[in-house]
Amino acid sequence: MISLASRDILHGWGKFVFTGIGLGLLIGVTLVMAGVYRGMVDDGKALLDNSGADLWVVQRDTLGPYAESSSVHDDTYRGLLGLRGVERAANITYLTMQVRKGTQDVRAMVVGITAGQPGQVPGWPPYLVAGRQITRGHYEAVADIATGFRIGDRLSIRRNQYTVVGLTRRMVSSSGDPMVFIPLKDAQEAQFLKDNDAIWQSRRRTEANPALNRPGVPGLLDAVLASQSTNPYVNAVLVTLEPGYAPDEVADSIRRWQRLTVYTRAQMEDILVGKLIATSARQIGMFLVILAVVSAAIVAFIIYTLTMDKIREIAVLKLIGTRNRTIAGMILQQAVALGLIGFVVGKIAATFSAPFFPKYVLLVPADTIAGFAAVMIICVLASLVSIRLALRVDPAEAIGG
């Protein structure tokens, strides 16, 4: 049987192909938008995986350290090490800032890690792609390759200079910012470091306070000034558990005895995905709905136009006894063919453009299958208007009636 749809497509192939390419670019944008959301979720999970922690101990009644600010004393980890089920506990700080290299700067999350060895102390980058881990207590850094830094680069973080000694990969914050790891003491100083004028003004106010500068109490002022120049706080304590202990059981023990807030891996993942990414997910969802509606409108318009251009031909087909099912099938096949061309072009465009986006774009097969099904459904629904128009054509129009 002669395929009426293919013959009609070949007759006006230019309009059909270029419309398919335009639809494909729109589908490609849709797939990339879905990939951006998947990438945000994957960034959050990578952040938790790379921390190496089973529990996150943070300031009481906060969602820290990623969703809210959190401050706990840096000697808290000692009390945690005495609890049953706790294998390791390590302080950590997080600070998102502009890290400078020469005249350029990069948005990054600066992570302060406790001295130790990777795999033994949580918080360290689990692997390197070049260089070595931090071995000194000050002024060394390990950076994610997404920062663009190289081994030996000199970075400026606040007033201090750091040398990049190692590079890692896929160490990012929940917002996709690459990480830069520095020693904990340096990170504590950077997080609360004041400029020289602010320090001078603070000391001047302290000296002018009679309660803190008593002539009869020598050493009081010096002790107060010393306490103001140090930062004894961290953002969280990362805890790993001994084998055989349930995270919820140990977390309840920490809450009871240490009076702090504790999150398990599942709870922290819920915070990252359900709270930090929730607004972005809703916005991306709205864009996907709008793009789907626009795609349906494009398919419906082009198929309607093609149908209007061959009203007389459809009337001739009816006049010679062609069944309505055959005519409807011809229009439906054109709509599906348009969708197939658009989807292939869109998939190719999304695959090749994804690496060039500043944020991580994760294209998963499940989204591809769902996108293909959605495109086919949209094309079928969009063809119904044209099918209804074609079935109402009077055969008499073939002879000018």
| Number of structural domains the chain divides into | 2
In tens, the pLDDT along 226-254 reads 766 677 889 999 999 999 999 999 999 99
Q: Residues 362, 364, 368, 371: what is their CA dihedral angle, to the nearest 10 degrees?
A: -60
- Asked, for residue 201, whether it belongs to a domain, the answer is no
pLDDT, residue 2, reads: 41
Which amino acid is located at 123 in the chain? G
* In a shared domain, residues 95 and 240: yes
d(CA 238, CA 296): 50
User: Are 367 and 285 within 8 A, CB to CB?
Assistant: no
d(CA 354, CA 348): 10
- Asked, for residue 50, whether it belongs to a domain, the answer is no
Residue position matching structure tokens 């294998």: 87
pLDDT, residue 240, reads: 94
Residue position matching structure tokens 């600010």: 69
- Asked, for residue 183, whether it belongs to a domain, the answer is yes
* In a shared domain, residues 175 and 310: no
* In a shared domain, residues 108 and 250: yes
* In a shared domain, residues 85 and 171: yes
* In a shared domain, residues 23 and 165: no
* In a shared domain, residues 40 and 64: no
Ranges of residues in the chain with a pLDDT under 50 are: 1-2, 4
Q: Residues 272, 277, 282, 287: what is their CA dihedral angle, to the nearest 10 degrees?
A: -140
Contacts of residue 13, Cβ cutoff 8 Å, sequence gap at least 6? none
Range of the domain at 288: 4-44+278-398
* In a shared domain, residues 39 and 142: no
pLDDT, residue 336, reads: 87
pTM here is 0.81
Helix (H, G, I), strand (E, B) or coil at 360: coil
- Asked, for residue 110, whether it belongs to a domain, the answer is yes
* In a shared domain, residues 372 and 246: no
pLDDT, residue 1, reads: 34
* In a shared domain, residues 247 and 380: no
Q: How far is CA 292 from CA 29, 152, 297, in A?
A: 11, 49, 9
pLDDT, residue 294, reads: 86
pLDDT, residue 12, reads: 60
- Asked, for residue 78, whether it belongs to a domain, the answer is yes
* In a shared domain, residues 32 and 141: no
* In a shared domain, residues 164 and 312: no
pLDDT, residue 7, reads: 58
